[in-house]
Amino acid sequence: MQKSNILPAGQKLDRYIIEKCLGVGGFSVVYIGQGIDTKEQVIIKEYMPNKLASRKDNGEVVAKEMQYAELYKHCRKAFFKEATTLATLKHPNIVNVTGFFRANGTVYMVMEFQEGKNLEAYIRSRQGNLSEKFIRTIFPPLLQGLQLVHSRGLLHLDIKPANIHIRPGGSPFLFDFGAVHKVANSRQYQLRQVVTSGFSPTEQHTRGGYVGPWTDIYALGATMRSCIDGKSPPSSLHRQEKDTMKPAQVSFKRRYSMPLLQVIDWAMELDPLLRPQSVEEFMQALQAGADQYKQDKDFFGRIANFLGNRR
């Protein structure tokens, strides 16, 4: 995205002042801002589809060409509608959307700012190798949050380590709902699916692909695998052409329990019909494995204590 499309620090925006740009994507710009009256820091996401729109000198966002005008208006309206829906999703493991407003010919979503560490950065600093205990601590709460999203007829469609934040104390939350979409919504106006190589399944790479809860589940499985492997999995398109990715059950069997690895492989099936079809189904499998994992740890712990006492 061109630098001219990013609002400068110090820019007044509704009831906020822009402090700095946090990042840009294909459809949005994310800023840290401060409330003019409250002085509290917030995250502000601006709808800014760089293929469709550009910013004028006065800050207004407009369609690049007349042929994009209707599409831009439709997508802007959808973004605002979904922002209002997200504001109703109150869950400790979902980013808290505190407001939304229109300005500069586009729309903005305001989110609570929270301290913590990004999961992608944590994986990179540890080169993967995150413990099974860590994985089994972080992902069930995220699944509970995602369960609420799905129950409202929405999909996240951009789950990846970079969109998971871990607060001090280890409590995770899911954020960056810029790709969120209604389960049954028409894709007539969408140029393409939002995709992240390694985390998006094959149906997300296809315009009008049949996405559903199973799409977010693939991304969760890929995120869990990256916690172990320390890198993004291969693109699902490459896997579809020639799948050279070894199952987690084969690659990591010496370091992690088989039930955990089986759940990851199940979530990352290329065929959507072979994956868990709901968060509930995935959670049950993960919990069943957790119970077995705890039993095994207790069993081997008792053996270790027994052998230690005999010495």
Please classify residue 62 by burial: count the beta carbons closer than 10 Å to its beta carbon, then call 0-12 exposed, 13-18 middle and 19+ buried. middle
Q: What is the pLDDT of residue 80?
A: 86
User: Can you tell me the distance from the alpha carbon of 247 to that of 165, in angstroms, rounded to the nearest whole number?
Assistant: 27
- Indicate the pLDDT class of residue 299, thresholds 50, 70 and 90: very low
The larger pLDDT score, comparing residue 87 to residue 62, is at 62
Please classify residue 206 by burial: count the beta carbons closer than 10 Å to its beta carbon, then call 0-12 exposed, 13-18 middle and 19+ buried. middle
User: Can you tell me the distance from the alpha carbon of 291 to that of 278, in angstroms, rounded to the nearest whole number?
Assistant: 20
- Indicate the pLDDT class of residue 206, thresholds 50, 70 and 90: confident
Q: What is the pLDDT of residue 260?
A: 96
**Beta carbons within 10 angstroms of residue 109's beta carbon:** 26
- Condensed to tens digits (0 to 9), the pLDDT of residues 106-152 reads 999 999 998 889 999 999 999 999 999 999 999 999 999 999 999 98
The length of the chain in residues reads 311
From the centroid of its chain, how far is CA 77? 22
User: Can you tell me the distance from the alpha carbon of 229 to that of 255, in angstroms, rounded to the nearest whole number?
Assistant: 11
How far is CA 4 from each of CA 50, 53, 54, 109, 209, rounded to the nearest angstrom?
A: 11, 12, 9, 21, 33
Q: Which structural domains are found in the chain, ordered by start?
A: 12-112 (3.30.200.20), 117-297 (1.10.510.10)
The larger pLDDT score, comparing residue 235 to residue 24, is at 235
- Indicate the pLDDT class of residue 290, thresholds 50, 70 and 90: confident
Report whether 257 contacts 289 (CB < 8 A): yes
3-class DSSP assignment, residue 51: coil
Match 């790709």 to its residue by tokens: 179
- Condensed to tens digits (0 to 9), the pLDDT of residues 44-56 reads 999 999 889 999 9
User: Can you tell me the distance from the alpha carbon of 236 to that of 77, in angstroms, rounded to the nearest whole number?
Assistant: 31
